[in-house]
C-alpha cells in the first residue's frame, strides 16, 4: 500500500468516464487499499479512483471521523439505482483546491455495488452518506461538484485558481479539513 497523488482540477483524467472493473483481482484490491490510506491521509471522507489517476469505477467512503474504518465502504462499479427528494449540501473536494459550494443532490439514494470480496451489496443512504455516494459516483462519470453549480460561480473559481497558480500561491496542495 502506498499513498497516491491526488489529481486536481483541471487534470484531464477528472473529466473521463471511468471504465468498469471486470475482474476483482490483487491489483484492484491493492489499489483500493492505497485509496483508503490516501483518503485518510488527505484527510477526506471519500475518494474515487479517477482522483488518483486511475480511470476505474472504484470508490472508498468513510463519513465517521470518530471511528475511522468502522463504517468504511469499498465499492466497485457503484451505481445509483433509485433517488428520492432533494437536499442542498455544502460540498468540497480533494480535487477542487480551496473551494466549497452548495450543491443540490437527491436527499435519499439506493446504491448498488460490489465489494472487494466480490459480494453484491445495496446501500440505502440519506444525509451525508447520500451526498458522498452521489459526489463520488459523479467522479466516475467525469463530473466534479463544480459542474453542478452555476456557470458564473464555476468561472469565478477557475479565474481564482488561474490567478493563484500564476502567482505561485498554490502547488496543488489541499487545504486542511475533511473533503469529499
DSSP string covering 24-59: --HHHHHHHHHHHHHHHHTTBSEEEGGGGT--BSEE
Q: Which of 33, 166, 141, 157 is nearest to 92 (CA)?
A: 157
Cα distance between residue 54 and residue 11, in whole Å: 12
Residue 7: inside a domain? no
Q: Which of 180, 111, 176, 178 is nearest to 148 (CA)?
A: 180
User: What pLDDT was estimated at residue 177?
Assistant: 41
Mean pLDDT of 115-125: 98
Instruction: State the pTM of this model.
Output: 0.91
Mean pLDDT of 112-131: 98
Residue located via cell numbers 452548495: 102
Mean pLDDT of 81-107: 96
Instruction: Judge whether residue 171 has pLDDT over 90.
Output: no
Cα distance between residue 20 and residue 140, in whole Å: 9
Residue 158: inside a domain? yes
SS3 assignment, position 123: strand
Residue 132: inside a domain? yes
Cα distance between residue 43 and residue 54, in whole Å: 19
Q: Is the dihedral of CA 112, 62, 132, 24 positive or negative?
A: negative
Catalytic residue among 136, 155, 167, 173: 136
- Residue range of the domain that includes 67: 12-166
Residue 128: inside a domain? yes
Active site residue 136: yes
SS3 assignment, position 146: helix
Residue located via cell numbers 479517477: 50
The answer to whether the beta carbons of residues 127 and 106 sit under 8 Å apart is no
Please write the tens of the pLDDT for every residue from 17-52: 999 999 999 999 999 999 999 999 999 999 999 999
Residue 159: inside a domain? yes
Mean pLDDT of 146-153: 95
Residue 149: inside a domain? yes
Q: Name the DSSP letter for residue 110.
A: E
The answer to whether the beta carbons of residues 19 and 56 sit under 8 Å apart is yes
Q: Read off the C-alpha cell for 112.
A: 448498488
Instruction: Judge whether residue 173 has pLDDT over 60.
Output: no
Residue 176: inside a domain? no
Q: Domain total for the chain?
A: 1
Q: Read off the C-alpha cell for 132.
A: 458522498
CATH number at residue 23: 3.90.45.10
The answer to whether the beta carbons of residues 104 and 88 sit under 8 Å apart is yes
Amino acid at each position: 500500500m502506498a499513498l497516491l497523488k491526488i489529481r486536481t482540477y483541471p487534470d484531464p483524467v477528472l473529466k473521463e468516464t471511468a471504465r468498469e472493473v471486470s475482474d476483482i483481482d490483487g491489483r484492484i484490491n491493492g489499489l483500493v487499499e492505497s485509496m483508503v490510506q490516501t483518503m485518510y491521509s488527505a484527510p477526506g471522507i471519500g475518494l474515487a479512483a479517477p482522483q488518483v489517476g486511475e480511470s476505474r469505477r472504484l470508490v472508498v467512503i468513510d463519513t465517521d471521523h470518530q471511528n475511522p474504518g468502522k463504517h468504511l465502504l469499498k465499492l466497485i462499479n457503484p451505481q445509483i439505482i433509485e433517488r428520492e427528494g432533494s437536499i442542498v449540501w455544502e460540498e468540497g473536494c480533494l480535487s477542487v483546491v480551496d473551494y466549497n459550494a452548495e450543491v443540490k443532490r437527491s436527499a435519499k439514494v439506493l446504491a448498488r455495488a460490489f465489494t472487494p470480496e466480490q459480494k453484491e451489496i445495496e446501500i440505502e443512504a440519506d444525509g451525508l452518506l447520500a451526498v458522498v455516494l452521489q459526489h463520488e459516483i459523479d467522479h466516475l462519470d467525469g463530473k466534479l461538484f463544480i459542474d453542478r453549480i452555476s456557470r458564473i460561480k464555476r468561472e469565478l473559481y477557475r479565474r481564482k485558481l488561474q490567478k493563484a497558480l500564476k502567482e505561485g500561491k498554490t502547488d496543488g496542495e489541499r487545504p486542511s479539513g475533511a473533503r469529499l
